[in-house]
Structure 1
């Protein structure tokens, strides 16, 4: 069945921000007493809100100053402004959705400011005007289903008639809790972790039109 709404995650699904963001985060946390590589940050924190990253980093021994989230975002945004690419094939997917009149939106644990930078650079931002749901704005974060439920309510679509596109376990878990079918995007691994929380795995954006029956 063709969905009535497609809900995209942002980082790692619409834009390839994870390498840059995790490199900045690793360097920052290492300065503050928690020595991690970019690869370790990717494994630990993909899909996390920065509020939860702060809590976990402190639990692991980092000494973070007051206002750390604002400071690390400033570092991350400066790095992202140097340029990040759209995920290969995503523009074509959005074209197909528009041609078939299937509404779509983005629901992210990142801030709207971050999405404005990354989506803005890639020409994607205008396509999501009025259809952006941020954990920072809504004061919730995946895996809490509330972020996805806000998108469903805005578009007046039942969970079973929507689809979530995610690359993180947190996001896929949130989709499951909201009762929304999820496709897990795993371009660099087998997706076992995503499948374990109910996502149907795909490895290339070119597969998505058939999965969405476009």
Structure 2
């Protein structure tokens, strides 16, 4: 069934920024006494808020300063400004959605400033003009379903007519709680946890037009 609205996560779904951001995080936390591998950091922190990351890191023994959230954002933004790629297949997918007259938007736990850096480098910032929802601005973060429900409300679409594209457990949980179909993007494997919470797993953004009913299977 074709959706009336496709809701994209940002990091790891529209732009390939998750690994870069977590490399910065790993280096930063090591300086405060918490040594993690990149795989560990991504497993624990992808999809969360930076405030939540800080709280968990402190629980694990990191001696973080009070202004740590501002510090890690500054370091992450500086690294992202050096360059981040758009996820392969996204421009073509958005073209297909435009051609089919299907609405789309982005709903992220990240900040508007971060999205402006990552989406702005790839011609996507203007494309999502008026269709960007940040947990920082809204005050609701995944796994709370409120961010997705707000996006649907603003688009005038009922939750059961929405499709969410996510790569994190918190996002999949938010979609499930919102009563929305969810497709879990797992290009490097590791989709089992997402599938356990009801996501349909896929690894090629080019296949999504078929998966959501825009094109028939060849």
Question: Structure 1 residue 20: deviation in Å?
Answer: 0.6
Q: 1:118 and 1:190 mapped to 2: Cα distance?
A: 24
2:39 maps to 39
- Measured against aligned partners, the alpha-carbon deviations of 1:26-77 in whole angstroms (never above 9, x if no partner) come to 0111111211122211111111111111111111111111111111000000
Q: Is the 8 A contact 1:109 1:136 kept in 2?
A: yes
Q: How is 1:1-214 mapped onto 2 (pairs within 5 angstroms)?
A: 1-214=1-214
Q: Which runs of 5+ in 2 are unaligned?
A: none
User: What RMSD in Å do the two structures reach over aligned CA positions?
Assistant: 0.8
Q: Tell me how far apart the structure 2 counterparts of residues 197 and 142 of structure 1 sit (CA, whole Å).
A: 14
Q: CA deviation at 1:190?
A: 4.7
For residues 197 and 49 of structure 1, what CA distance do their matches in structure 2 show?
Answer: 20
The Cα offsets for residues 51-104 of structure 1, whole Å up to 9 and x where unpaired, read as 111111111111111111111000000000000000000000000000111010
Measured in 2, the distance between the counterparts of 1:36 and 1:192 equals: 22
User: Following the alignment from structure 1 to structure 2, what is the Cα–Cα distance between the partners of residues 71 and 130?
Assistant: 29
| TM-score, normalised with respect to structure 1 | 0.98
TM-score by length of 2: 0.96
Aligned to 2:184, the other structure's residue is in SS state: strand
C-alpha separation in 2, matches of 1:95 and 1:23: 32
Runs of 5+ unmatched residues, structure 1: none
- How many residues are paired up? 214
Residue pair 1:22, 1:39 contacting (<8 A) in 2 also = no
How far has the Cα of 1:23 moved from its partner?
0.4
Taking the aligned partners of 2:127 and 2:212, their CA distance within structure 1 comes to 19
Q: Secondary structure at the match of 1:198?
A: coil
Kept in 2: contact 1:172–1:198 (CA 8 A): yes
Counterpart CA distance in 2 for 1:139 and 1:63 is 27
Say which SS state the counterpart of residue 77 (structure 2) adopts: helix
